[in-house]
């Protein structure tokens, strides 16, 4: 398989479907929105975008299966696409311009391609196996900041699993008072892409799904960053929590996270 060519095709596909999502963002109404959970919104745009993506991705790698947020799992042996057609749906429906498409390709359960397209700024982040990471054709790298006190950190707020809310808030308080600050963009895929290109030193969240992180985590890794679970787990795509960083602040941050999130 030529990963570089397929990545380019996925990038082009994301730009096309991104245009559909952007056009719909101008006309979507509150009656078009359904609740999957209290804080879990979905619309015809999420479903329509996923249908368009799956239709085209099937042509690129006909033997691949799918793990897709809105339509579920189609099993396969060697290859599978992991897709979030619209990451940041709450932003999308509230007309806050940070939302993205996130697509990863796995081969034998290891990610080999990752593409995150942030639609409003027209920024496409991508990487493929044995290569670096790129933003709109230019190489990107994680930041070189090595002090937590100089770091800007991203997170996502818990929205369905509140069992770990107390340690989450205690950690949040610590980081607010000991770093440059915390941001919550509302798209985990964009958070990860921003770690990859050095805008954030780190990103952490629990309760994410494979489609939120598969592409972004791979791009962070290819951009020189580090990934783990809150307890040093190495599997992050199917894990229950994620810390992504520029590698330089990883162990320091992990030590602090572990103090709050005891296994
Ligand atoms: C959500 C976004 C958000 C994160 C949530 C995700 P969705 O995805 O990535 O940033 O905090 O955990 O579920 O529902 O907009 O695809
Ligand atoms: Ca998502
Ligand atoms: Ca989504």
Give DSSP secondary structure letters for 48-117. Answer: HHHHHHHHHHHHHSTT-EEEETTTEEE--SSEEEEEEEEE-HHHHHTT-S--EEEEEEEETTEEEEEEEE
Q: Are residues 206 and 222 in the same domain?
A: yes
Query: How many angstroms is it from 12 CA to the middle of ligand 1?
Result: 23
Average pLDDT, rounded, for the chain: 95
Distances from the Cα of 59 to the Cαs of 4, 52, 53, 102, 106, in angstroms? 16, 12, 10, 18, 16
pLDDT at 165 over 90: yes
Residue-wise pLDDT for 16-44, tens only, equals 999 999 999 998 887 877 777 666 667 89
Q: Are residues 83 and 174 in the same domain?
A: no
Q: What is the CATH number of the domain that holds 130?
A: 3.30.540.10
Last residue of a domain, one of 102, 124, 140: 140
Residue 75 class from Cβ within 10 Å (0-12 exposed, 13-18 middle, 19+ buried)? exposed
Q: Are residues 14 and 113 in the same domain?
A: yes
Q: Are residues 178 and 224 in the same domain?
A: yes
Cβ-contact 9, 60 below 8 angstroms: yes
Q: What is the Cα–Cα distance from 216 to 126, expressed in whole angstroms?
A: 8
Q: What is the Cα–Cα distance from 261 to 155, expressed in whole angstroms?
A: 15
Q: Are residues 28 and 115 in the same domain?
A: yes
Q: What is the CATH number of the domain that holds 219?
A: 3.40.190.80
Q: Are residues 40 and 9 in the same domain?
A: yes
Residue-wise pLDDT for 209-255, tens only, equals 999 999 999 999 999 999 999 999 999 999 999 999 999 999 999 99
Q: Which residues contact 105 (CB under 8 A, 6 or more apart)?
A: 6, 10, 61, 64, 79, 80, 81, 82, 111, 112, 113
Residue-wise pLDDT for 173-214, tens only, equals 999 999 999 999 999 999 999 999 999 999 999 999 999 999
Q: Are residues 98 and 184 in the same domain?
A: no
Q: Domain containing 30: what range? A: 3-140
Q: Are residues 252 and 216 in the same domain?
A: yes
Per cent of the chain over pLDDT 70 is 98
Last residue of a domain, one of 140, 158, 190: 140
Query: What are the DSSP E strand ranges found in the chain?
Result: 33-37, 40-43, 65-68, 72-74, 79-87, 100-107, 110-118, 123-128, 133-135, 138-140, 152-155, 181-183, 202-206, 226-228, 241-245
208 lines ligand 1 (CB under 6 A): yes
Domain count, the chain: 2
Q: Are residues 97 and 132 in the same domain?
A: yes
Atom number, ligand 1, closest to the C-alpha of residue 91: 15
Q: What is the Cα–Cα distance from 178 to 185, expressed in whole angstroms?
A: 20
Q: Are residues 134 and 115 in the same domain?
A: yes
Pairing of strands 100-107, 65-68: unpaired
Atom number, ligand 1, closest to the C-alpha of residue 211: 16
Q: Are residues 168 and 228 in the same domain?
A: yes
Q: Are residues 130 and 167 in the same domain?
A: no
Residue-wise pLDDT for 132-146, tens only, equals 999 999 999 999 999
Counting ligands in written order, which one lies closest to the CA of residue 187?
Answer: 1
Atom number, ligand 1, closest to the C-alpha of residue 187: 10
Query: How many angstroms is it from 210 CA to the middle of ligand 2?
Result: 9
Token pair belonging to 164: 């770990």
Last residue of a domain, one of 140, 172, 194: 140
């Amino acid at each position: 398989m030529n990963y570089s060519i397929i990545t380019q095709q996925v990038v082009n596909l994301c730009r096309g479907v991104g245009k559909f999502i952007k056009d719909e963002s101008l006309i979507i109404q509150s009656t078009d929105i359904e609740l999957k959970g209290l804080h879990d919104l979905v619309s015809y745009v999420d479903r329509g975008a996923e249908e368009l993506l799956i239709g085209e991705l099937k042509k690129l790698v006909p033997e691949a299966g799918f793990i897709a947020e809105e339509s579920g799992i189609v099993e396969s042996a060697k290859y599978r696409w992991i897709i979030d057609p619209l990451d940041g749906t709450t932003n999308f429906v509230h007309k806050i311009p940070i939302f993205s498409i996130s697509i990863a390709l796995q081969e034998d359960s290891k990610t080999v391609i990752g593409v995150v397209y942030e639609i409003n700024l027209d920024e496409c982040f991508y990487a493929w196996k044995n290569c670096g990471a790129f933003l709109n054709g230019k190489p990107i790298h994680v930041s070189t900041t090595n002090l937590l006190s100089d770091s800007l950190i991203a997170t996502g707020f818990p929205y369905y699993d509140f069992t770990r809310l107390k340690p989450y808030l205690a950690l949040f308080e610590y980081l607010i008072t000991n770093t440059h600050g915390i941001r919550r963009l509302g798209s985990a895929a964009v958070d990860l892409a921003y770690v990859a290109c050095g805008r954030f030193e780190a990103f952490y969240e629990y309760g994410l799904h494979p489609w939120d992180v598969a592409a972004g985590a791979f791009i962070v890794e290819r951009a020189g960053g580090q990934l783990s679970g809150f307890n040093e787990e190495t599997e992050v795509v199917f894990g229950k929590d994620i810390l992504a960083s520029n590698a330089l602040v990883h162990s320091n941050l992990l030590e602090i996270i572990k103090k709050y999130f005891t296994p």
